[in-house]
Chain A
Amino acid sequence: MRYLGWLTLVAASLLTGCRHNDENPLVPGASIAAGRAAIQQYNCGVCHQIRGISGADGMVGPPLSGIVRRTLIGGELPNNVANLSAWIRDPQAIEPRSGMPNLGVDSAAARNIVAYLYTLR
């Protein structure tokens, strides 16, 4: 019982570390943590390898590490927040033959997902 105070302090400082920055400067107003949760909710990991998401080691679509440094989305659109969000929301609007399903992701969730993906180096 005597050590609980110290343990709490250590745990609290660790948690503070996790929380200190939830916003990605590249995606203003979006939440990295909410994006992470959305990626888990929509099971993006069954097709994509996504670092930091448990079980996300899919081998159907491309791995998403370093996606922020790529120039093209879906092989045809410039890589920016608007285009990547649009791709996540409705891939067939951009590339009708894409196998990536339209999962009904809303625009806020899509921006949150981009905020998370753009943290992957």
Chain B
Amino acid sequence: MKTPPVTRRLRLAALTLLLAGCHAPMSVFTGAGPAGRALSQLTWVLVAASAVIFVLVTLFMLAAIARRNRGGTDPDLTVHDNRIPIVAGAIIPGVVLLALFMTSVLIERRIPGDASTPAESFTVIGHQWWWGVERDDSASGRRAMWANELHVPVGEPVDLTLLSDDVIHSFWIPQVHGKIDLIPGDTNHIRFVADRPGVYRGQCAEYCGMQHANMAFTLVVESPVAYRAWLSVQRADAKPPTDTLAALGRAQVVNGPCATCHTIRGTTAQGEIGPDLTHVGSRVTLAAGTLPNDLATMEAWVTNAPSLKPGVKMPAMPQFTGLQLRAIAAYLEGLR
């Protein structure tokens, strides 16, 4: 049968849409490492099995409806044969569920466990509603912190230690690893390898309060050279601003209310409640994936964070003038 061109085009559009879904920044269908690939295989198996079951159940239901319509009052509507509910309601689902369970166990066994080989290691700390990231440098004894973003070298193992500062969160970047909870008073570890360069989205996967949905994470998988350059930037202290507007902003930030909650290494701002801002201008997003990181958004965030992320601990700052706000944004965006 000849397919009309419009139908063909629609099919093409639908296919494009589906494939686009596979390459989304947060897809369970395409892995970017051994663990991610094993989990995406499991996802495909479960989706395919669910599709078959859904179609079969729908067909049975339609058949039942058609039969009722044909017969009017059908004396056979009541099931007299006990074998039907036992076979269709218990034995078949039991066998199917057992088979799916065994499949998932077999696939999950292929997820690499902790190894003793050295790896790049970081600590991720869950907060309502952002991710602290910490790098302990045992060689120099110095600690560097930042937030909501991690770069990793392609093909090299990465160890994460996961803690929580308040409630239970769950760290989930589907392309590289399964969900892992961050539990107050407890410590979890994962090791993963990402072998496909790209930018991946992570998301808190355990409901943790009002802004749970706006608690995202950016994972950048890049060449080892680019990774080490990024890491040395994150470890360094903030550079003093070069232009007058940013210098005005620095004075506002360091001597003003910002320093109560935020740290900017290399300055007297040493607050520990909000995210470390030493290199905030280098990050892809603001407020844990809530907003893009640019001058206008930074200004709006500084003066009225609760209007952009209701419930956030950072209060509105109505005391700043327009000029002060532009200066603060210029300084913070310049911290790269």
A residues near B, CB below 8 A? 1, 4-5, 8, 42-44, 46-47, 57-60, 96-101, 103
Seed contacts A46-B291, A97-B322; 14 additional CB < 8 Å A-B pairs = A4-B7, A5-B4, A43-B294, A46-B297, A46-B301, A47-B299, A60-B304, A99-B322, A99-B323, A99-B325, A99-B326, A100-B322, A101-B296, A101-B326
Choice from A1, A5, A59 contacting B304 with Cβ under 8 Å: A59
Say how far B322's CB is from chain A's closest CB, in angstroms: 3
Cβ contact within 8 Å between B10 and A8? yes
Choice from A4, A43, A100 contacting B10 with Cβ under 8 Å: A4
Q: How far is the CA of A108 from the CA of B326 in the complex (A)?
A: 25
Q: How far is the CA of A100 from the CA of B10 in the complex (A)?
A: 45
Q: Which residues of B contact A99 (CB under 8 A)?
A: 299, 303, 321-323, 325-326
Cβ contact within 8 Å between B307 and A43? no
Q: Is the interface of A mostly helix, strand, loop or mixed?
A: loop
Q: Bin chain B's interface residue count.
A: 20 to 34
Q: Which residues of A contact B326 (CB under 8 A)?
A: 99, 101
Say how far A80's CB is from chain B's closest CB, in angstroms: 23
Cβ contact within 8 Å between B7 and A60? no
The reply to whether the CB of B295 lies closer than 8 angstroms to some CB of chain A is yes
Q: Which residues of A contact B6 (CB under 8 A)?
A: 4-5, 8
Instruction: Tell me which residues from 257 to 308 in chain B have a Cβ below 8 Å from any Cβ of chain A.
Output: 291-292, 294-297, 299-301, 303-304, 307-308
Cβ contact within 8 Å between A97 and B323? yes
- If the complex has contacts A4-B7, A8-B6, A60-B307, are A47 and B296 also in contact, measured as CB distance less than 8 A? yes
Cβ contact within 8 Å between A97 and B300? no
Cβ contact within 8 Å between B308 and A46? yes
Q: Which residues of B contact A46 (CB under 8 A)?
A: 291, 296-297, 300-301, 308
Q: Which residues of B contact A44 (CB under 8 A)?
A: 296
Q: Which residues of B contact A60 (CB under 8 A)?
A: 299-300, 303-304, 307
Q: How far is the CA of A60 from the CA of B303 in the complex (A)?
A: 7
The reply to whether the CB of B216 lies closer than 8 angstroms to some CB of chain A is no
- If the complex has contacts A46-B291, A60-B307, are A101 and B7 also in contact, measured as CB distance less than 8 A? no
The reply to whether the CB of B163 lies closer than 8 angstroms to some CB of chain A is no
Say how far B4's CB is from chain A's closest CB, in angstroms: 8
Q: How far is the CA of A5 from the CA of B9 in the complex (A)?
A: 12
Q: Which residues of A contact B39 (CB under 8 A)?
A: none
Choice from B291, B307, B329 contacting A101 with Cβ under 8 Å: B329
24 contacts between A and B (CB under 8 A): A1-B7, A5-B4, A8-B6, A8-B10, A42-B296, A43-B294, A46-B297, A46-B301, A46-B308, A47-B299, A47-B300, A58-B300, A58-B304, A58-B308, A60-B299, A60-B300, A60-B303, A60-B304, A97-B323, A99-B323, A100-B322, A101-B299, A101-B326, A101-B329
Cβ contact within 8 Å between A59 and B329? no
Cβ contact within 8 Å between B295 and A101? yes
Cβ contact within 8 Å between A43 and B303? no
Say how far A68's CB is from chain B's closest CB, in angstroms: 23
Q: How far is the CA of A52 from the CA of B103 in the complex (A)?
A: 48
Cβ contact within 8 Å between B307 and A58? yes
Q: Which residues of A contact B323 (CB under 8 A)?
A: 96-97, 99
Cβ contact within 8 Å between B295 and A97? no
Cβ contact within 8 Å between B321 and A43? no
Q: How far is the CA of A1 from the CA of B295 in the complex (A)?
A: 49
Say how far A15's CB is from chain B's closest CB, in angstroms: 13
Q: Which residues of B contact A103 (CB under 8 A)?
A: 295-296
Q: How far is the CA of A6 from the CA of B237 in the complex (A)?
A: 63
Q: How far is the CA of A5 from the CA of B4 in the complex (A)?
A: 10
Q: Which residues of B contact A47 (CB under 8 A)?
A: 296, 299-300
Closest to B292 in A: A43
Q: How far is the CA of A42 from the CA of B304 in the complex (A)?
A: 18
Instruction: Tell me which residues from 304 to 325 in chain B have a Cβ below 8 Å from any Cβ of chain A.
Output: 304, 307-308, 321-323, 325
- Which of A1, A47, A100 has most chain B Cβ within 10 Å? A47
Q: How far is the CA of A36 from the CA of B301 in the complex (A)?
A: 22
Q: How far is the CA of A101 from the CA of B297 in the complex (A)?
A: 10
Q: Which residues of A contact B295 (CB under 8 A)?
A: 101, 103
Closest to B325 in A: A99
Cβ contact within 8 Å between B304 and A97? no
